[in-house]
């Protein structure tokens, strides 16, 4: 008889160079259930799933059971053969291969010495149909957007007959509409009796898709619950180990003084006729589906995407911004969405990364004033609660959320007049998210104009004084914080 559990992990520990990322963790996943794995940044979630996926080998004493049978997972391919597939955040498929090839590669049933393309295409089509995706399997993967690539990765997992599909923060790069599609696919998987282990920092989503939850804290197992039986506040307390209060902070005073005015900005194929203003002390939120032009506008203001026409007016004066250097000179800072590519030097220390944008300030006669450098890095690791509090650690070894905090710190250190943040808390845990929202509000209260771009509607509602909603390159609606609801915003973003 099949076991009630598809996976049981017991006594899982994992040490990296003396640091215990996991310390005697257990996890039980029932067949066909959607199980959420939660914990603060650095709690060990990604490490735990990498053990399950055969990427990390656990320390001695670990016990892994699949379908009730004790087993050892030797490597990633071994995990896949045993029915465990992982969809990583960066997808990690092959951009230059077709969809069909990406789905079938490594699949013993069709990937043989002599490839039968009809068979391969048929298997790919079948898998795509199961997730309800209308994607041509002959297309190259790189021609799909991230959301569709993720769907291909799920189709791949299905074609391997996985009984457990693991998703590490799958919605962190998706827009509201795409998130809905993913939820539907998860529903389909559940109906097929395929279990899903779901890592997320978004509480609305956890309650929406999962039926059970396991909490990790500081590399340890805390507890597992039926989500119907545990309140949100309690779950946060279990994650953080203390009570956390989330007050949305109101603006202290938004001055009448306009700091930025964008006038009829156009860029063919990106955005059209964009006009809005930002006042000192104000936080303007911009939301809309991915691809609606939000990030392109941010880049235009920061000199990374030169518009065809229109004006940018800073404190009453029209300015010309042709490069990021121009923007920085005018006191504009920009936190990019794609931090791995645009924001961080993985091999360099937290300290070096944090001070990268203020090198001018900390350099004297061509030498770095290390005292100043350390002081700045200490200040922002402290403020943003970067863990571990070790400014000499290479950034690449921090957990995803903590890397995020370093990029944010880097730009906050520049003391900007205008701060544009694209998805500032993507991948950041609830405690740190609250801290980042507070920091943004404090910056605004100091007189900085802040633009926050976010796909996460609860975040937009929590931080913004005014909300601009984009659809296909146009601002289709502007709402004041008062009276704005998630439903109303989503309807506009979808073009209703």
Ligand X SMILES: Nc1ncnc2c1ncn2[C@@H]1O[C@H](COP(=O)(O)OP(=O)(O)OP(=O)(O)O)[C@@H](O)[C@H]1O
Binding site for ligand X (CB under 6 A): 16, 21, 39, 41-47, 397-402, 429
Residue 400 or 473 having the CB closest to Mg ion: 400
Using CB atoms within 10 Å of the CB of residue 60, give its burial: 0 to 12 exposed, 13 to 18 middle, 19+ buried. Answer: exposed
Residue 402 CB, shortest distance to ligand X, in Å, is: 6
For the chain, give the number of residues. Answer: 496
Question: Which segments within 268-376 are labelled E, that is strand?
Answer: 271-279, 283-288, 309-314, 317-319, 332-335, 363-364, 367-368
Interacting span for Mg ion (CB under 5 A) from 39-47, 94-102, 173-181, 185-193:
39-47
Residue 39 or 170 having the CB closest to ligand X: 39
Give the total of residues touching Mg ion (CB under 5 A).
2
Residue 223 CB, shortest distance to ligand X, in Å, is: 16
Residue 236 CB, shortest distance to ligand X, in Å, is: 14
Residue 22 CB, shortest distance to ligand X, in Å, is: 8
d(CA 310, CA 470): 18
Torsion of CA 103, 106, 107, 108, to 10 degrees: 160
| Structure token digits, residue 320 | 């010309």
Q: Which residue has the tokens 């002959």?
A: 138
When CB distances are held under 5 to 8 angstroms depending on the partner's kind, the choice from Mg ion, ligand X, none that residue 402 binds is ligand X
When CB distances are held under 5 to 8 angstroms depending on the partner's kind, the choice from Mg ion, ligand X, none that residue 44 binds is ligand X
Give CA angle at 487 (481, 493), nearest 5°.
Answer: 85
| Structure token digits, residue 333 | 């800072």
Residue 42 or 293 having the CB closest to ligand X: 42
Residue 387 CB, shortest distance to ligand X, in Å, is: 7
- 205 forms beta bridges with none
Residue 251 CB, shortest distance to ligand X, in Å, is: 30
Residue 342 or 390 having the CB closest to ligand X: 390
Q: Is the peptide bond before 388 cis (omega within 30 degrees of 0)?
A: yes
Residue 99 or 395 having the CB closest to Mg ion: 395
Residue 40 or 459 having the CB closest to Mg ion: 40
d(CA 126, CA 109): 14
Residue 394 or 458 having the CB closest to ligand X: 394
CB neighbour burial string for 370-379, b if at least 16 within 10 angstroms, e if fewer: eeebbebbee
User: Which residues from 341-400 bind Mg ion, rule CB under 5 A?
Assistant: 400
When CB distances are held under 5 to 8 angstroms depending on the partner's kind, the choice from Mg ion, ligand X, none that residue 254 binds is none
According to the binding rule CB under 5 A, does residue 281 interact with Mg ion? no
When CB distances are held under 5 to 8 angstroms depending on the partner's kind, the choice from ligand X, Mg ion, none that residue 473 binds is none
Figure out which of the listed residues 13, 46, 159, 287 binds Mg ion, where binding follows CB under 5 A.
46
When CB distances are held under 5 to 8 angstroms depending on the partner's kind, the choice from Mg ion, ligand X, none that residue 285 binds is none
User: Which residues from 395-414 bind Mg ion, rule CB under 5 A?
Assistant: 400
According to the binding rule CB under 5 A, does residue 173 interact with Mg ion? no
The residues, any chain, with a CB within 8 Å of residue 99's CB and separated by 6 or more, are: 124, 128, 135, 136, 137, 138, 139, 140, 141, 144, 152
């Amino acid at each position: 008889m099949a076991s009630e559990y598809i996976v049981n992990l017991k006594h899982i520990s994992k040490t990296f160079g003396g640091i215990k990322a996991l310390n005697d963790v257990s996890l039980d996943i029932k067949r066909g259930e959607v199980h959420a794995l939660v914990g603060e940044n650095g709690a060990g979630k990604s490490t735990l799933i990498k053990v399950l996926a055969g990427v990390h080998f656990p320390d001695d004493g670990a016990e892994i059971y699949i379908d009730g049978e004790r087993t050892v997972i030797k490597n990633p391919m071994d995990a896949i053969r045993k029915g465990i597939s992982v969809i990583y955040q960066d997808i990690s498929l092959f951009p230059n291969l077709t969809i069909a090839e990406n789905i079938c590669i490594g699949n013993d049933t069709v990937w043989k010495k002599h490839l039968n393309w009809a068979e391969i295409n048929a298997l790919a089509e079948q898998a795509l149909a199961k997730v309800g995706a209308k994607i041509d399997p002959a297309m190259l993967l790189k021609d799909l957007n991230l959301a569709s690539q993720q769907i291909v990765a799920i189709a791949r997992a299905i074609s391997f007959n996985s009984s457990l599909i693991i998703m590490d923060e799958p919605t962190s790069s998706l827009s509201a509409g795409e998130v809905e599609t993913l939820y539907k696919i998860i529903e389909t998987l559940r109906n097929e009796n395929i279990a899903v282990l779901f890592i997320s920092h978004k509480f609305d989503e956890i309650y929406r898709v999962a039926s059970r939850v396991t909490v990790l804290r500081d590399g340890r197992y805390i507890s597992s619950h039926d989500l119907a039986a545990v309140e949100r506040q309690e779950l946060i307390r279990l994650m953080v180990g203390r009570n956390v209060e989330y007050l949305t902070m109101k603006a202290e005073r938004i001055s009448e003084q306009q700091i930025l005015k964008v006038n009829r900005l156009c860029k063919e194929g990106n955005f059209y006729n964009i006009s809005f203003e930002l006042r000192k002390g104000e936080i303007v939120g911009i939301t809309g589906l991915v691809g609606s032009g939000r990030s392109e506008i941010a880049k235009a203001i920061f000199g990374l995407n030169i518009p065809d026409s229109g004006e940018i007016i800073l404190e009453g004066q029209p300015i010309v911004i042709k490069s990021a250097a121009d923007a920085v000179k005018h006191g504009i800072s920009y936190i990019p969405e794609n931090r791995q590519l645009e924001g961080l030097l993985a091999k360099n220390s937290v300290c070096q990364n944090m001070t990268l944008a203020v090198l001018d300030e900390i350099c004297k006669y061509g030498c770095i004033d290390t005292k100043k450098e350390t002081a700045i890095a200490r200040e922002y690791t402290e403020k943003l609660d970067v863990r571990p509090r070790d400014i000499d650690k290479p950034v690449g070894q921090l957990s995803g959320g903590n890397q995020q905090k370093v990029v944010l710190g880097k730009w906050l250190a520049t003391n900007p007049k205008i701060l544009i943040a694209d998805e500032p808390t993507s991948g950041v845990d609830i405690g740190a998210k609250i801290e980042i929202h507070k920091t943004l509000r404090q910056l605004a209260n100091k007189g900085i104009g802040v633009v926050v771009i976010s796909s996460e509607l609860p975040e937009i509602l929590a931080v913004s004084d005014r909300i601009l909603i984009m659809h296909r390159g146009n601002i289709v609606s502007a709402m004041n914080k008062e009276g704005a609801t998630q439903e109303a915003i989503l309807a506009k973003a979808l073009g209703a």
